[in-house]
Amino acid sequence: MNLLTLTTALLVLAALAYRVGQRRALRLRTDQRLAALPSHYGAYVALWCGLPAAALLVLWLIGESQIVRLLVVGALPAESQGLAPAQLDLVLDEVARIAAGTNLFEDDSLAAAAARYSALRGISDLAKAVVVMAAAVAGLVAGQHLVVARLRARDAVERLVRGALMAASTMAILGTIGIVASMLLETIRFFQQVSPLAFFTGLEWSPQTAIRADQVGSSGAFGAIPVFAGTAMITLIAMIVAVPIGLMAAIHTAEYASPRARAIIKPLLEVLAGIPTVVYGFFAALTVGPTLRRLGDTIGLDVASESALAAGLVMGVMIIPFVSSLSDDVINAVPQALRDGAYALGSTQSEVIVRVVLPAALHGIVGAVLLAVSRAIGETMIVVMAAGLAANLSANPLQATTTVTVQIATLLVGDQVFDSAKTLAAFALGMVLFMATLGLNIIALRVVTRYRQAYE
Amino acid sequence: MALTARRQVLETEPLATAKTAKVAAHGVTVFYADKQALEDVSMDIRGHEVTALIGPSGCGKSTFLRCMNRMNDTIAICRVEGEILVDGVDIYGPGVDVVHLRARIGMVFQKPNPFPKSIFENVAYGPRIHGLAENKVALDDIVETSLRRAGLWDEVKDRLNEAGTGLSGGQQQRLCIARAIAVSPEVILMDEPCSALDPIATARIEELIDELREKYTIVIVTHSMQQAARVSQRTAFFHLGVLVEQGDTEQIFTNPVEKRTQDYITGRIG
């Protein structure tokens, strides 16, 4: 019996258990007062039936391969048994392939082990099905016997649901921890090869370490300042575009626009947020970049066709809806009572907005801007396509520049070895990026929460 | 139709009262979209008196109050007919600047609504936007006088730079009163100013209202008949969008002409 059939059977049984529990509760209800609704008793029995069995199944699946492996190793030829763990894994993979009939090479010495493997898998599958279904049936019977009128089934079910919800929320935290841990290890390996001081203060970025010593450009310099500077510049340009436009758009939609205009403008602005960044990327690279270059030519400026300005401008456009949508929300959240108070003192509409509404919404707006900044720092596709690769340390936005995200993307594209500083540098950059955006998000959330507290 | 109604009112009303009244409403009718909230209300509000508007919830008393400083303008679906004269000038007439009007007719709301600024800045807001103070010294002076008149100065003089929202409910409401009087209005409209306050804070505000009568004309909407009886000289009773009866407070409470007023005061309706 394969896994899909088994899970389906389990679900069917749980559904049956639900009916059984519900029926029993309904029968009890004819002469007693129940402590919960019949559906709660149904859910209660279904959980008794399904949960222990499912837990057992999961444990079995985790333990199965380990146990089978241990038993198979005994059947391997003597010379294979003494191999190092990594090589032993390869041999065992081959055994599994022979058993499945997908092996590439004939190797009779492994035939015995393969036969053993097949036999063990067969036994395991059967045993698994029997044990799990037995557990489910036992759970159903036990649960059904537990159903009495005074059983507080709702409490039990809700406790369990609460537990499940909590587990789901912990998932996000575990995900973050996992990501950090995976980057952290590689980052540490990188800093064993390149000193942190050189990385954080060096002015030259040239990560192309050569495979052969005599190759051109084999030096490999890992001074990340030019890369950080590129990110900072493009982010700055993007924010110069996005913050004023986004904020003014938000003020318009929240305060001035008629309900009908608002109903049209807001979704249209949010369409911008739905455009894939890769589309923005070629808009920047094929339209904005060359246009800027031509414009520069006409007024005698030397503009690179891949310029920080082009990437920054387009990124700014991309970020407008983040700023406008969040700001619009916080401006709308400013209590009407404050506006009324200001109007009643004889304020004009612009005075109300500038002197009362915006200061009251300031925390939220700052939060929105910080979230937008962290979004700009992490944005990859636009800069990959439009900003260039050369790490020039220059304050001229008309030149090509590069960003942290671009470097990560280029360092990890293609075949790489995971022990060279070049590849590992990507993780160090990623770590810095992660820390920066994490810090910004934490600050932004704090600011926003503090703002919310003021009105609740 | 509204025009003819207005003309009739003008004819029946003796010209003299229109002159002595600080605010005179003639045939005021208000609609929220298609729903009529106020029907043909005519009343005079005399200067340097407290006029109480009483009546059950939804009777239109707050709507009428908000007509007097055109706060209803901020509600898009609201339509006002008839005329309201302040010192003889129709505030709904052409050429009336609503910003100036509201500076002359201040308002205090049901729930204290101090701005999220310091106590000083709350009071200084009005003088600043209207350019009433020429320099910092004059502004300080206005703020202090206003807070003193609102009976709040002694409690806050050492913490003028702290947030106005950090005060207690009663203090916040007095701050809002100080904010309103800082622009030297002629009339102060109060929309149930004590409904969110405890009895002690309420008593404090009521005392204050009595003191303010000397300098300002006050119109107060209240749900509490005791409050109306305590603070007002004139009372108007509204019911279902109609002004049922108006008169001296004492007369309304002891000897009402209309049966509906009698019923409301004795608790039979509302």
Question: How is A19-85 classified by DSSP, letter by letter?
Answer: HHHHHHHHHHHTTS--SS-HHHHHHHHHHHHHHHHHHHHHHHHHHHHHHHHHHHHTTS-HHHHTS-H
Among B219, B247, B196, B242, residue whose Cα is nearest residue B66:
B219
Residue % of chain B over a pLDDT of 90: 67
Cα diameter, chain A: 96
B193 touches chain A (CB under 8 A): no
Helices (H) then strands (E): counts for chain A = 18, 2
Q: Are strands B35-46 and B217-221 parallel, antiparallel or unpaired?
A: unpaired
Query: Is the pLDDT assigned to residue A245 strictly greater than 50?
Result: yes
pLDDT for the residue A209 = 61
Q: Which of A336, A338, A345 to mutate to test the interface with B (most CBs of B within 10 A)?
A: A345
Q: How far apart are CA A320 and CA A79, in angstroms?
A: 66
Query: Is the pLDDT assigned to residue B225 strictly greater than 70?
Result: yes
Mean pLDDT of A227-244: 93
The tens digit of pLDDT for each residue in B121-151 reads: 999 999 999 998 889 999 999 999 999 988 8
Q: How far apart are CA B255 and CA A250, in angstroms?
A: 57
Q: How far is B224 from chain A (nearest CA, A)?
A: 22
A360 touches chain B (CB under 8 A): yes
DSSP B10-62: HHHS-HHHHHHEEEEEEEEEEEETTEEEEEEEEEEEETTSEEEEE-STTSSHH
Q: How far apart are CA B239 and CA B260, in angstroms?
A: 8
Cβ contact (<8 Å) for B106 and A359?
Answer: no
Mean pLDDT of A9-18: 92
Mean pLDDT of A9-13: 92
B176 touches chain A (CB under 8 A): yes
Q: Of all residues in chain A, what percent are helix, strand and coil, respectively (each to 5)? A: 75, 0, 20
Among A444, A424, A433, A312, residue whose Cα is nearest residue A370:
A444
- Decide which of A306 and A316 is more confident: A316
| Contact predicate A292/A303, CB 8 Å | yes
The listed range with the strongest mean pLDDT (A400-404, A422-426, B54-58, B188-192) is B188-192
pLDDT for the residue A388 = 79
B166 Cβ contact partners less than 8 Å away, ≥ 6 residues apart: none
pLDDT for the residue A35 = 81
Cβ contact (<8 Å) for B103 and A345?
Answer: yes
Q: How far is A324 from chain B (nearest CA, A)?
A: 23
Query: Is the pLDDT assigned to residue A454 strictly greater than 80?
Result: no
Q: What residues of A are in contact with residue B179 (Cβ under 8 Å)?
A: 341, 345
Q: How far apart are CA A104 and CA B12, in angstroms?
A: 111
Q: How far is A342 from chain B (nearest CA, A)?
A: 8
3-state secondary structure of B1: coil
B130 touches chain A (CB under 8 A): yes
Cβ contact (<8 Å) for A345 and B109?
Answer: no
Q: How far is B70 from chain A (nearest CA, A)?
A: 9
Query: Is the pLDDT assigned to residue B252 strictly greater than 70?
Result: yes
Cβ contact (<8 Å) for A345 and B111?
Answer: no
Q: How far apart are CA B267 and CA B248, in angstroms?
A: 20
A122 confidence band (pLDDT: 50, 70, 90): confident
Global pTM? 0.74
Q: What residues of B are in contact with residue A340 (Cβ under 8 Å)?
A: 71, 74, 107, 109, 113
For B185, nearest residue in chain A (alpha carbons): A345
Cα diameter, chain B: 58
A337 touches chain B (CB under 8 A): yes
Chains A & B: contacts with CB separation below 8 Å:
67
Q: How far is A338 from chain B (nearest CA, A)?
A: 6
Domain map (residue ranges) of chain A: 3-151, 221-451
pLDDT for the residue B11 = 40
Return the structure tokens found at A61. Answer: 């699946």
Cβ contact (<8 Å) for B183 and A454?
Answer: no
The tens digit of pLDDT for each residue in A155-205 reads: 888 998 999 999 999 998 999 899 888 889 889 988 988 888 888 888 888
For B76, nearest residue in chain A (alpha carbons): A258
Beta bridge partners of B187: B105, B217
pLDDT for the residue B2 = 44
| Contact predicate A234/A402, CB 8 Å | no
pLDDT, mean over chain B: 88
Q: How many CB atoms lie within 10 A of CB B3?
A: 10
A215 confidence band (pLDDT: 50, 70, 90): low
Cβ contact (<8 Å) for A343 and B126?
Answer: no
Distances (CA, A) of A245 to A277, A288, A318, A323, A325: 19, 18, 11, 9, 12
pLDDT for the residue A271 = 87
Mean pLDDT of A297-313: 87
3-state secondary structure of B159: coil
Mean pLDDT of A51-64: 89
Mean pLDDT of A425-433: 90
In one letter, which amino acid is A361? Answer: A
Distances (CA, A) of A238 to A58, A225, A302, A311: 48, 20, 21, 8
Closest Cβ opposite residue A341 in set B69, B109, B130: B109
A218 confidence band (pLDDT: 50, 70, 90): low
In this predicted structure, which of A302-306, A307-311, B233-237 has the lowest mean pLDDT?
A: A302-306
Query: Is the pLDDT assigned to residue B19 strictly greater than 50?
Result: no
Cβ contact (<8 Å) for B71 and A343?
Answer: yes
Q: How far is A352 from chain B (nearest CA, A)?
A: 10
DSSP A99-168: HHT--SS--GGGHHHHHHHHHHHHHHHHHHHHHHHHHHHHHHHHHHHH--TT--HHHHHHHHHHHHHHHH
What CATH number is given for A221-451 in this structure?
A: 1.10.3720.10
Distances (CA, A) of A92 to A60, A66, A75, A85: 20, 11, 11, 10
Cβ contact (<8 Å) for B126 and A345?
Answer: yes
Q: How far is A258 from chain B (nearest CA, A)?
A: 10
Radius of gyration of chain B (CA): 19
End-to-end CA distance of chain A: 57
Cβ contact (<8 Å) for B115 and A348?
Answer: no
Among B192, B206, B252, residue whose Cα is nearest residue B56:
B192
In this predicted structure, which of A18-27, A115-124, B141-150 has the lowest mean pLDDT?
A: A115-124
Q: How far apart are CA A297 and CA B219, in angstroms?
A: 70
A359 touches chain B (CB under 8 A): yes
Secondary structure (H, E, C), B73-135: HHCCCEEEEEEEEECCEECCCCCCCHHHHHHHEEEECCCCCCCCCEHHHHHHHHHHHHCCCCC
Closest Cβ opposite residue A345 in set B74, B102, B111: B102
Return the structure tokens found at A72. Answer: 């198979």
Q: How many CB atoms lie within 10 A of CB A83?
A: 15
Mean pLDDT of B202-230: 91
Cβ contact (<8 Å) for A338 and B116?
Answer: yes
